[in-house]
């Protein structure tokens, strides 16, 4: 079991109001699985991914990754986890526009203090069709190309788990299909576990398993 959440909750208190963004999620994902979570805007998809990726802390409940509970990790261990063991792909790409494509891709490796494995990185660049774009900056690329750079960056440290938050949300149909088919390839060729949230059924259908989220819970 790679990921397990137990009665996972995240509440936001705003004045007298409490928003139950994630309201008791019990989810298990096996290593090597590709799952998608589909649900309308505001149902808690991003919050759930942030909790699993250690970007946010739960109000109650647990997240286990490879049997290690995230809340038991100190800040150093949690930073290492975020940098080396997961890759995050965001809807808005979140690339650094002042850096080249190549620099963006290797950033997680440099942050983690590791050495760049040229063979692995060149393979990634090839698989994602970015060979001719390495010296470009993100704003010189199409949305689909920017998301391919973000996927390469997510894979740079060779993490077991890739978390994708609406990876096609900012793309047109053609680019969406290209990005989802690359995620399929990565799942197959790189044997990654992928968790993807989306509100698009045709994108969600690429996964092995599809869960539906509503009002902070998974059906």
Ligand X SMILES: Nc1ncnc2c1ncn2[C@@H]1O[C@H](COP(=O)(O)OP(=O)(O)O)[C@@H](O)[C@H]1O
Contact residues: ligand X, CB under 6 A: 12, 14, 19, 21, 39, 41-47
Residue whose C-beta lies closest to Mg ion = 46
Indicate the residue among 41 and 74 with the shorter CB distance to Mg ion: 41
Question: Minimum distance between the CB of residue 10 and Mg ion, rounded to whole angstroms?
Answer: 13
**Which of ligand X, Mg ion, none does 42 bind, CB closer than 5 to 8 A by kind?**
ligand X
Report the Cα 197 to chain-centroid distance in Å.
9
Tokens (6 digits) for 158: 């060779």
Separation of alpha carbons 77 and 179, rounded Å: 31
Indicate the residue among 32 and 42 with the shorter CB distance to Mg ion: 42
**Which of Mg ion, ligand X, none does 32 bind, CB closer than 5 to 8 A by kind?**
none
Indicate the residue among 82 and 133 with the shorter CB distance to ligand X: 82
Question: Minimum distance between the CB of residue 197 and ligand X, rounded to whole angstroms?
Answer: 7
**Which of Mg ion, ligand X, none does 128 bind, CB closer than 5 to 8 A by kind?**
none
**Which of Mg ion, ligand X, none does 157 bind, CB closer than 5 to 8 A by kind?**
none
Is 46 a binding residue for Mg ion by CB under 5 A? The answer is yes
**Which of ligand X, Mg ion, none does 12 bind, CB closer than 5 to 8 A by kind?**
ligand X
Is 47 a binding residue for Mg ion by CB under 5 A? The answer is no
Indicate the residue among 41 and 76 with the shorter CB distance to ligand X: 41
Question: Minimum distance between the CB of residue 70 and ligand X, rounded to whole angstroms?
Answer: 17
Separation of alpha carbons 110 and 208, rounded Å: 33
- Scan for tokens 């259908």, then name that residue: 205
């Amino acid at each position: 079991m790679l990921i397990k959440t137990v009665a996972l909750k995240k509440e936001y208190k705003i004045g007298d109001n409490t928003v139950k963004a994630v309201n008791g999620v019990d989810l298990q994902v096996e290593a090597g699985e590709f799952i998608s979570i589909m649900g309308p805007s505001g149902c808690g998809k991003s919050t759930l991914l942030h909790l699993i990726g250690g970007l946010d802390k739960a109000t109650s409940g647990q997240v286990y990754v490879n049997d290690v509970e995230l809340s038991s990790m100190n800040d150093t261990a949690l930073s290492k986890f975020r940098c080396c063991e997961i890759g995050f792909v965001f809807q808005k790409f979140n690339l650094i526009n002042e850096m080249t494509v190549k620099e963006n891709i290797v950033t997680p490796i440099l942050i983690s203090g590791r050495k760049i494995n040229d063979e692995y990185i060149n393979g990634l660049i090839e698989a994602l069709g970015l060979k001719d774009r390495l010296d470009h900056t993100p704003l010189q690329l199409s949305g689909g190309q920017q998301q391919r750079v973000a996927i390469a960056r997510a894979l740079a440290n060779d993490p077991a788990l890739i978390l994708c938050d609406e990876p096609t949300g900012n793309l047109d149909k053609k680019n969406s299909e290209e990005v989802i088919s690359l995620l399929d390839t990565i799942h197959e060729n790189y044997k990654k576990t992928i968790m993807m949230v989306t509100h698009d059924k045709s994108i969600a259908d690429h996964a092995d398993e599809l869960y539906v989220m509503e009002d902070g819970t998974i059906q």
